């Protein structure tokens, strides 16, 4: 009887490394300026999980994101930072997708990561997330951040609007839990929405009421 020696497979990181240091920080706080300075000085790379719909004084403004986080990863953290385990599943989908679109519009590259806000999740949410990931890379970023934002947001809206029609039995103008589509009817430019009195900036995909999103 011939005996074949079983193969030994080693799982490792690029360069044959077996250990890795990961650094992940949420919310885009002003302290990120000093933190990124230290990371860059000592050759450390981190992931910064940002909320696209919370332009507040204690957070890094969008106008700084591209330059500040250059060489690091930017990832989703939902648009309004809700406790998503208590939110309807369709609203959670909108929170994730709206945040991803906002971040991609600013950064100019596909955003593939997500950190759960408040560490909140459910198995149903985890199963939903692969459908919300970018399907293909966005065009290269342009030098002017403002032009880049508007171009990528428009491109994302056009590609999303061409998705297959909603499943039978869903209410027109809503987002079914298994498919991500914008509401019916004309949509305002997604990167130019105003800020509400509560400090939330509602994108077209998300209702302007705040009750399911307040922490």
**What pLDDT band is residue 178 in, cutting at 50, 70 and 90?**
very low
**Cα dist from 134 to 96, 102, 159, 191, whole Å:** 12, 13, 11, 18
Residue 150's Cβ-count burial label (10 Å; 0-12, 13-18, 19+) is middle
Q: What is the mean pLDDT of the chain?
A: 73
pLDDT digits (tens, 9 = 90+) for 113-128: 999 999 999 999 999 9
The answer to whether residues 145 and 106 touch, using CB atoms and an 8 Å cutoff, is yes
H/E run at residue 100: helix 89-107
| pLDDT score recorded for residue 1 | 63
Tokens of 45: 């790379």
pTM (two decimals): 0.62
DSSP 78: -
Q: CA-to-CA distance for 148 and 139, rounded, in angstroms?
A: 10
pLDDT digits (tens, 9 = 90+) for 50-83: 999 999 999 999 999 999 999 999 999 999 999 9
Q: Which residues contact 94 (CB under 8 A, 6 or more apart)?
A: 79, 175, 180, 205, 206
């Amino acid at each position: 009887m011939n005996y074949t020696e079983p193969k030994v497979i080693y799982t490792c990181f690029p360069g044959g490394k077996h250990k890795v240091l990961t650094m992940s920080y949420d919310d885009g706080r002003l302290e990120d300026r000093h933190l990124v300075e230290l990371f860059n000085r000592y050759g450390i790379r981190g992931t910064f999980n940002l909320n696209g719909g919370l332009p507040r004084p204690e957070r890094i403004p969008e106008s700084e994101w591209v330059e500040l986080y250059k060489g690091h990863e930017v990832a989703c953290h939902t648009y309004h930072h809700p406790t998503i385990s208590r939110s309807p599943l369709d609203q959670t989908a909108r929170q994730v997708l709206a945040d991803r679109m906002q971040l991609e519009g600013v950064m100019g590259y596909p955003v593939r990561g997500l950190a759960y806000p408040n560490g909140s999740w459910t198995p149903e949410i985890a199963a939903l997330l692969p459908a919300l990931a970018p399907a293909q890379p966005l065009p290269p970023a342009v030098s002017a951040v403002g032009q880049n934002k508007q171009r990528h947001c428009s491109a994302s809206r056009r590609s999303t609007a061409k998705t297959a029609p909603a499943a039978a039995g869903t209410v027109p103008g809503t987002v079914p839990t298994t498919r991500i589509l914008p509401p019916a009817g004309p949509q305002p430019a997604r990167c130019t929405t105003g800020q509400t009195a509560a400090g939330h900036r509602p994108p077209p995909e998300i209702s302007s009421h705040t009750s399911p999103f307040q922490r």
